[in-house]
Structure 1
Amino acid sequence: MSRIGKKAVSVPQGVQASVEGQTVTAKGPKGQLAVRLDDEVLVVLNDNEIKVDPRDNSKDARSKWGMSRTLVQNILTGVTSGFERRLEITGVGYRAQVQGQALNLALGYSHDVAYPIPEGIQIVCPRPTEIVITGIDKQKVGQVAAEIREYRAPEPYKGKGVKYAGEFIFRKEGKKK
């Protein structure tokens, strides 16, 4: 049984939430988001709470119950405060900077990598070795961070590359003479 699914999601102050069939829509100070939930779960809006329940006691319905509740929580959090991912760049000459609608990355290749910034995402580089990705859609913020990290994932010998802030890179010992 889902333990997280049992909790009702409270709608924060200043957010308008509506449920139409299986679609939950939230409009807040940062923007508007909607999520379509699976038919195996039942969504109800009462007072200032959104309650998600499985339609029946099948294993499929119960497995989608907690995830559906988390998706609703994520859109409500997104329209109120948004989401943020931080990336750190390690390596001599490795740097990043935002130019217009593109993020230019110098990652040791013979050319700079130009990553086009998707709509709904803001990227800021407070330092040349730090990238801050913000947006209201948690999935999109995480996907952009993963795509940027993919250009030069951190290697285990010197730790050079793009990594998430706070990520631990397991280091290996090099060759011995």
Structure 2
Amino acid sequence: MKSILADIDFSRDSSVVARELIGVTLLIDGVGGRIVETEAYDRLDPASHTFGGMTPRNAAMFGPPAHAYVYRSYGIHWCLNFVCREVEHGAGVLIRAIEPLFGVDAMRARRGVDDERLLCSGPGKVCQALGVTHAHNGLPLDAPPFVLLAREEDVAVLAGPRIGISKAMEVPWRFVEGGSRFLSKPMRAS
């Protein structure tokens, strides 16, 4: 089983990387599961944090690819992104949902819920369940506490409009594993 960045080249467009991450196993300190939902963002995308240029908040997105960008959403939830493209470009992939497979008891304790379907079915839930905080911002994905394991089998990947944003919603850069019951929301027809 290959584990070095799951054989994904993070120097490519975020929409390509977002699709390829579906079915990859993400572990943080041994806790995690299979990625079942992602969204791509790019510096030229008005919905991206990097659209207006580099700020102290989004600086990690302008750093090297295959690093984490962690930010707080609405002042409440941490959200995890994987940086893509070349240095200074400002592109990334939001990890929206995973299927919990490893360290499920730790996830339940962190989230305070028993239903596996609710443990990681949204970007804030993913971070809470996996213990992601701003301390992970800027860390390389090819070193502890991160482990990315390549897909063990082919998965059906569906693409559609992104959710939870107010700009460029129609861009089909939300990717999900077809048939997964662990998505943040069902895929709507595009």
> Which structure is higher in RCO with an 8 Å CA cutoff and minimum separation 6?
2
TM-score scaled by structure 2? 0.22
TM-score scaled by structure 1? 0.23
